């Protein structure tokens, strides 16, 4: 059974550019969540999607957005990149939403470096 | 708001030593509690979880007990191995929400 796949694994972008990250959940999983991991702030929740609808959103500026497709694959986009956006972005998938009974499986992440 | 506090690392141990990583939480409602582990260059793996008071989660020799009276969920292992070297995260989620709130993480370094 394939795990959660995140692409690309590594990315280098220049300040002011935008970037799109992709996440393919485990087959059959309908919920996808995104987290940002930095040395200073640790792991912070970005947003959660379930059945193509955003269910929850963390405390991030509007430059951070996401979407989910009908096949449950998800993308997140960051516009007007800042140096502080350099981080490991983790995606997690789950069968359902609204509680942790389903459990989450994390991908290996996309390492974004903004220069 | 909800928060998780865990001991700062790194925790440095010799192989076969006992491990305890402290974790305390603040949450509204009755949270579920988790320990995740992150190996270098990888994502997070669920190590164990507990969903109600006095529950004990266990996996791969690691254990943690949900203590509501002390709002704690300390991670323990009786004999660590070099392969246990990783960063360990304590986390919680509140009922009805899928969002995980993480602690800052504790790095464990085990030497032969």
Q: Over the Cα atoms of chain B, what is R_g? A: 13
Q: Residue B94: what pLDDT?
A: 84
Nearest CB to A97 within list B41, B98, B104: B98
Residue B98 touches partner A, C-beta closer than 8 Å: yes
Residue B10 DSSP label? -
Best B4, B35, B44 member to test A by mutation, with max A CBs in 10 Å, is B44
Residues of B within 8 A of A94 (CB-CB) are 98
Identify the bridge partners of residue B41 per DSSP, sorted by sequence position.
none
Judged by a CB distance cut-off of 8 A, whether residue B102 touches chain A is yes
Question: Hey, are the CB atoms on B43 and A104 less than 8 Å from each other?
Answer: no
Angstroms from B91 CA to nearest CA on chain A:
10
Residue A12, exposed/middle/buried by CB under 10 A (0-12, 13-18, 19+)?
A: exposed
On whether any CB of chain B is under 8 Å from the CB of A99, the answer is yes
Instruction: Pick A108's closest partner by Cβ from B42, B51, B105.
Output: B42
> Does A61 contact B at CB distance below 8 Å?
no
Instruction: Give the whole-number percent of chain B exceeding pLDDT 90.
Output: 79
Beta strands in chain B, from DSSP E residues, in sequence order: 3-6, 11-14, 19-21, 23-26, 32-38, 44-50, 56-59, 62-65, 75-77, 86-93, 101-102, 106-111
- Cis, bond preceding A107 (omega within 30 deg of 0): no
Does any CB of chain A come closer than 8 Å to the CB of residue B30?
no
Per-residue pLDDT tens for B65-80? 999 999 999 999 999 9
Q: What is the pLDDT of residues A58-76, one digit of tens each?
A: 999 999 999 999 999 999 9
**What digits encode the pLDDT tens for the residues B27-82?**
988 899 999 999 988 889 999 999 899 999 999 999 999 999 999 999 999 999 99
Give A49: exposed, middle or buried? Use CB within 10 Å, 0-12, 13-18, 19+.
Answer: buried
> If pLDDT is split at 50, 70 and 90, which confidence band does A104 have?
confident
Cβ-defined contact of A100 to B98 (cutoff 8 Å): yes
Tell me the pLDDT tens digit for each residue of A32-59: 999 999 998 999 999 999 999 999 899 9
Omega prior to B78 cis, within 30 of 0: no
State the Cα–Cα distance between residues B55 and B64, nearest whole angstrom: 8
- Output the pLDDT for position B30: 86
* Alpha-carbon torsion (A70, A73, A78, A84), positive or negative: positive
Q: Does B112 or B95 have the greater pLDDT score?
A: B112
- What's the whole-number mean pLDDT along residues B87-95? 91
**At B95, is the pLDDT very low, low, confident or very high (cuts 50, 70, 90)?**
confident
């Amino acid at each position: 059974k394939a795990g959660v796949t995140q692409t690309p694994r590594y990315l280098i972008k220049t300040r002011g550019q935008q970037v799109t990250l992709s996440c393919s959940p485990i087959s059959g999983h309908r919920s996808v969540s995104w987290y940002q991991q930095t040395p200073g702030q640790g792991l912070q929740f970005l947003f959660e999607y379930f059945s193509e609808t955003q269910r929850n959103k963390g405390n991030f500026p509007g430059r951070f957005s996401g979407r989910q497709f009908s096949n449950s694959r998800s993308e997140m986009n960051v516009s007007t990149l800042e140096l502080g956006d350099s981080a490991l972005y983790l995606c997690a998938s789950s069968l359902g939403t609204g509680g942790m009974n389903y459990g989450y499986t994390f991908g290996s992440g996309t390492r974004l470096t903004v220069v | 708001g909800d928060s998780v506090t865990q001991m700062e690392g790194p925790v440095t141990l010799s192989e076969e030593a006992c491990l305890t990583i402290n974790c305390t939480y603040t949450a509204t409602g009755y949270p579920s509690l988790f320990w995740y582990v992150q190996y270098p260059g990888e994502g997070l793996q669920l190590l164990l979880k507990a969903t109600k008071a006095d529950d004990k989660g266990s996996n791969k020799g690691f254990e943690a007990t949900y203590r509501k009276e002390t709002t704690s969920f300390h991670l323990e292992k009786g004999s660590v191995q070099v392969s246990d070297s990783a960063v360990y995260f304590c986390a919680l989620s509140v009922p009805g929400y899928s969002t995980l709130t993480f602690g800052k993480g504790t790095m464990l370094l085990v030497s032969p």
